[in-house]
Structure 1
Amino acid sequence: MTWLESAVDSPYGIHHLPYGVFSTTDNPARRLGVRVGDQVLDLKLVVTSGTCANCETCTALSSSTLNDFMALGPEVWSKVRTQLQDALTDETLAEPMSRMLTPVADVTTHLPFTPADYVDFYSSEHHATNLGRLFRPDGDALMPNWKHLPVGYHGRSGSLVPSGTDIVRPQGQRRTPDGEIVFGASARLDIEAEVGFVVGVGSQLGTRVATGDFTDHVFGVTLVNDWSARDIQNWEYQPLGPFLGKSFATSIATWVTPLDALAASRVPAPEQDPAVLPYLVEPDRYAYDLTLSVEWNGTKVSSPPFAGVYWTPAQQLAHMTVNGASLRTGDFFASGTVSGPEKDQRGSFLELSWSGAEPVKLDDGSTRDFLEDGDTVTISATAPGPRGTTIGLGEVTGTIRPAN
Structure 2
Amino acid sequence: MRLDVSADDPFGLHNLPYGVYRAAGADPRVATRFGEHVVDLALLLGDDTFAPGSLNAFMAQGPARWASVRAQVVDALTGDVDPSAVHALDEVTLELPFEVADYVDFYASEHHATNLGRLFRPDGDALTPNWKHLPIGYHGRSASIVVSGTDVVRPCGQRLPPGEAVPVFGPSVRLDLECELGFVVGIGSPLGEPIPVDRAGEHLFGVVLFNDWSARDIQAWEYVPLGPFLGKSFASTVSPWVVPMAALEGARVPVPAQDPEPLPYLAMEQPWGLDITLEVVINGEVVSRPPYAATYWSPAQMLAHLTVNGAPTRTGDLFASGTVSGPEPGQQGSLIELTRGGAEPIALGGEKRGFLEDGDEVVLRGEARLADGRRIGFGEAAGRVLPARSLPAHGEEH
TM-score calculated relative to the size of structure 2: 0.95
Structure 1 residue corresponding to 2:189, chosen from 185, 203, 206: 203
SS of residue in 2 equivalent to 1:272: coil
Q: Does 1:39 align with 2:37?
A: yes
Q: Deviations over 1:46-90 (max 9, x none)?
A: 244xxxxxxxxx342222200000001111111111111111123
Tell me the matched-pair count.
388
1:345-360 equivalent positions in 2, closer than 5 A: 345-360=331-346
1:71 maps to a residue whose letter is: A
Contact 2:44/2:76 (<8 A) preserved: no
For residues 226-251 of structure 1, give each alpha carbon's deviation from its aligned partner in whole angstroms, at most 9, with x where no partner exists: 00000000000001000000000000
**Counterparts in 2 of 1:165-184, with a 5 A limit?**
165-179=150-164, 180-184=166-170
Match of 2:395 in 1: none
**Would you say the 8 A contact 1:7–1:38 is kept in 2?**
no
Q: Give yes or no for contact 2:17–2:244 (8 Å, CA) kept in 1.
A: yes
Q: CA deviation at 1:285?
A: 1.5
Give distance in 2, aligned partners of 1:283 and 1:389: 27
Separation (CA, whole Å) in 2 of partners of 1:3 and 1:216: 34
Q: Give the alignment partner of residue 394 of structure 1, picking from 379, 382, 395.
A: 379
**1:63 corresponds to 2:52:** yes
Output aligned runs, 1:271-286, within 5 Å. 271-286=257-272
- Is the 2:104–2:319 contact (alpha carbons within 8 Å) kept by the matching residues of 1? yes
Pairwise mapping of residues 5-404 of structure 1 onto structure 2 (< 5 A)? 5-27=4-26, 29-48=27-46, 58-90=47-79, 94=80, 96-179=81-164, 180-362=166-348, 364-385=349-370, 387-404=372-389
* Separation in structure 2 between the aligned mates of residue 233 and residue 147 of structure 1, nearest angstrom: 23
Is residue 45–residue 73 contact of structure 2 (8 Å, CA) maintained in 1? Answer: no
CA gap 1:218/1:85 in 2 versus in 1, 3 angstroms: same
In structure 2, distance between residues paired with 1:59 and 1:208: 33
Aligned residue in 1 for 2:394: none
Distance (Å, rounded) in 1 between the aligned partners of 2:248 and 2:229: 33
SS of the residue aligned with 1:85? Answer: helix
8 A contact 1:191–1:348 mirrored in 2? yes
- Pairwise CA RMSD: 1.3
Instruction: Tell me the SS of whatever aligns to 2:82.
Output: helix
One-letter identity of the residue aligned with 1:86: D
- How far does residue 3 in structure 1 lie from its aligned partner after superposition? 4.7
Q: Deviations along 1:142-195, whole A, 9 cap, x unmatched?
A: 000001000000110010000110000000001010223100000000000000
Corresponding letter in the other structure for 2:128: M
Structure 2 residue aligned with 1:51: none
SS of equivalent residue, structure 1 residue 398: strand
Take 1:108 and 1:386, find their aligned partners in 2: how far apart are those partners?
33
SS of 1:161's equivalent in the other structure is: strand
Secondary structure (helix, strand or coil) at the match of 1:112 reads coil
Letter in 1 for 2:375: T
Give the structure with the larger helix fraction: 1
Q: What per-residue deviation string (whole Å, max 9, x for no partner) do you get for residues 265-320 of structure 1?
A: 00111111111100001244110000000001110010000011111100000000
Q: Aligned AA for 1:83?
A: Q
Q: Is the 8 A contact 1:382 1:391 kept in 2?
A: yes
1:118, 1:332 within 8 Å by CA — same for their partners in 2?
yes
CA distance in 2, matches of 1:59, 1:23: 16
Distance in 1, matches of 2:294 and 2:371, equals: 21
**C-alpha distance in 2, partners of 1:186/1:7?**
46
Amino acid at match of 2:135: P
TM-superposed deviation, 1:366: 1.9
Question: How many Å separate the matches in 2 of 1:11 and 1:26?
Answer: 30
* C-alpha distance in structure 2 between counterparts of 1:40 and 1:218, whole Å: 24
SS at match of 1:344: coil
Q: Which amino acid aligns with 2:42?
A: K
CA pair 383-19 structure 1, distance change in 2 beyond 3 A: same
CA distance in 1, matches of 2:132, 2:283: 36
C-alpha distance after superposition, 1:94-148 (max 9, x if no partner)? 2x43331100000101100001110000000000000000011111100000010
- TM-score (structure 1 length as normaliser): 0.94
Q: Which runs of 5+ in 2 are unaligned?
A: 390-398
Structure 2: distance between partners of 1:286 and 1:76:
24
5+ long unaligned stretches in structure 1: 49-57
| 3-state DSSP of counterpart to 1:287 | strand
TM-superposed deviation, 1:262? 0.5
Q: Are the equivalent residues in 2 in contact too, given 1:17–1:257 (CA < 8 A)?
A: yes
SS at 1:310's partner residue?
Answer: coil
